[in-house]
Amino acid sequence: MKFYYLFFFIFFFTKVSAELKLTPILEDLNKPWSVTLKSNSELLITEKSGNIIFFNKKKNIIKKIPHNLKVLEDGQGGLLDILFRDQKVYVSYSEDRGDGKSSTSVAVANYNLDLLNFNNIFQAEPPIASGYHFGSRLVIRKDKLYVSVGERGKGIIAQDPKKHPGSIIRINLDGSIPKDNPKFLDKKEWLPEIYQIGIRNVQGMALSPYDGEIYMTNHGARGGDWFGLLFKGGNYGWDKLYWGGTKYSGLPGGPKWLPGFDKPIKYYVPSIATSALLIYKGKEFSEWNGKALISALKDQSIRLLTFKNNQFIKEEIIFKDEIGRIRDIKIDNEGRILVLTDQGGLWLMSRG
């Protein structure tokens, strides 16, 4: 793993309304998936193979933190999202459940640089023998943890509220179940952890610092990616709906939308392979405040999306095809953007 001082290898881009500077600060990561800030200079990074990397930018300290997770790296699965909050580390991962089966699971540990001793607080049921569509992003809103659980390539399972795959989960931070989840209100047949169904593979999920809502980006099939709002007790329709896309065979899928289902703010046809998401608030790019930053794998882009009252207004491409497939984006305490790529690079995006 190599560390770069910030004044080396600087690239300039004139895009959108600001001159951007992309600075590589770490390379040779092994299929990284997520980055979280412990402090403005200390980061935690996951690698799909199961490593948790501690990185101190100022002191150039790079360390693998031992842990006790049973990670099964299989296709799109592995060690996935990571979130640091109040001296605790939350992770989502594809857990080895035996006999080739795995689940999207969530675990928490007290922060310890020498050993992270995780305890599971959620396991998606049933475990499935598939390397597809685990999700999986984590968001904390107030004292609740939200988890995106992919439908594992099983399609219509996302319409079954008695199974977790294809849904958004809401639990307390200790794994217990909130008493105001949909099951306890008007969705008696739903599993108690489920907050919304009809999801295919949400790999972007972010809390807005403006309206307090949670927004998501979801993979479609051949087309039909979308950006939209999280709805309590809602249903985005997969795979009765195809959101404008088609099956991989090229045959038609379901309709783009039908009454009774939740409607996204923005559709992407053809697919851009949406990955991470944040709602920007900061000083570095103050003209972006309140807008969504959406990263994509397919065209290696970051996009700036303007919306209001859940209505799409416009979208601009900040950059694309410059540094690789964008896997994660996070904002630091100064409003700069950390950009993590599948190619193993961690970059800092700032104003030029």
- Long-range Cβ contacts of 306-311 (<8 Å, 24+ apart): 307/265, 307/266, 310/229, 310/265, 311/265
pLDDT of the residue at 18: 56
Burial pattern 45-74, b for ≥16 Cβ within 10 A else e, equals bbbbebbbbbbebeeeebeebebebbbbbb
Identify the CATH number of the domain defined by range 2-339.
Answer: 2.120.10.30
Judged by DSSP in three states, 288 sits in helix
Residue 56 parent element (H or E): strand 52-56
- Round to whole Å and give the CA distance between 349 and 326: 13
pLDDT of the residue at 134: 95
Task: Return all residues near 338 (Cβ < 8 A) that are at least 6 apart.
Answer: 35, 37, 43, 328, 329, 330, 331, 332, 346, 347, 348, 349
DSSP for residue 157: G
Q: What is the pTM of this model?
A: 0.95
- Round to whole Å and give the CA distance between 286 and 218: 27
**Of 67, 113, 68, the residue nearest 87 (C-alpha):** 113
Burial pattern 274-297, b for ≥16 Cβ within 10 A else e, equals bbbbbbbbbebbeebeebbbbbbb
Q: Both ends of the chain: CA-CA distance in Å?
A: 26
pLDDT of the residue at 278: 98
pLDDT of the residue at 276: 97
pLDDT of the residue at 66: 98
Judged by DSSP in three states, 158 sits in helix
With a cut of 50, which residues of the chain have pLDDT below it? 5-17
Judged by DSSP in three states, 221 sits in strand
Q: Is 60 left (phi over 0), alpha (psi -120 to 50) or beta?
A: left
- Round to whole Å and give the CA distance between 251 and 117: 47
